[in-house]
Structure 1
Amino acid sequence: MPTAACSTRPDYLDELRTRSRSSQRILNEDVRLRRYGDTAVVTGTSIQSGLGNGQPWSGRFRFTRVWVRRDGVWRMVASHSSRIADAP
């Protein structure tokens, strides 16, 4: 389940391996890509739902992904998402 906590790549991969978190739906909208040589920044909105430790969760999130090309291969080097507050 998305939280305000920071996690490392091993943390994220462990969540997937143990299935303590699973996504049921991911829909990305308003995706923008800006490329600066061998670096690319992707931003957008993501509508997601899933299970975290057996509990359902869902929400809308703004995300940023930073990719770097090294030796001809693109690799994500940073990722961030923040929940968009529900409308009043």
Structure 2
Amino acid sequence: MSLFLILSCIKQPDQQLIAQRIQEFDTAYKTGDVEKLDEMISFDYLHTNPSGNIVTRENWLNWNISRARAIESGELVISAYETSELNIRIKNQYTVVASGVNYASGTDKGEPFETKVRFTHVWVLEDGLWKRAVFHDSYLD
């Protein structure tokens, strides 16, 4: 069997499937489902926050554990968490780049908040599942 034939049999990712995975991720993040988030990030996950700080997989998950406790206690209430302007670029059968805008609002310790960020994700096919491998966002005014 030729290499061309083998490569042509490898299915390219579908934009709708990636959009669905992003929606699943957003729901898990909004609700503080750390177990689901853990399943949806790559083993070498790299997160860069709006302050320019690089956060490791372990530190990001630990931060989300604290965040989940705040959600459970009612200290943090997420009223809205929405993605818009989603742009999905399929690079190859193993790598996808997605960008868009996240809007979040709610209350944190009783104080209202509202944030809007532009993000870039890299998604990779790992162990047969699409997982977020890289995240970076910047605040929008």
Answer 1 or 2: which has greater strand percent. 1
Aligned-pair CA distance for 1:49: 2.4
Q: TM-score, normalised by structure 2?
A: 0.50
Contact 1:23 1:48 in 2 (8 A): no
Aligned residues: 83
Q: 5+ residue gaps in structure 1?
A: none
From the superposition, tell whether residues 65 and 58 of structure 1 become closer, same or farther in structure 2 (CA, over 3 Å). Answer: same
Letter in 1 for 2:60: Y
Separation in 2 of the partners of 1:7 and 1:56? Answer: 26
Query: 1:1-16 maps to which residues of 2 (within 5 A)?
Result: 3-4=50-51, 5-16=53-64
Deviates more, 1:14-23 or 1:29-38: 14-23
Q: 5+ residue gaps in structure 2?
A: 1-48
Identity of aligned residues (%): 27
Structure of greater Rg: 2
Q: CA RMSD in A?
A: 2.4
Query: 1:18-29 maps to which residues of 2 (within 5 A)?
Result: 18-19=66-67, 22=76, 24=78, 25-29=80-84
Separation in 2 of the partners of 1:74 and 1:23? Answer: 29
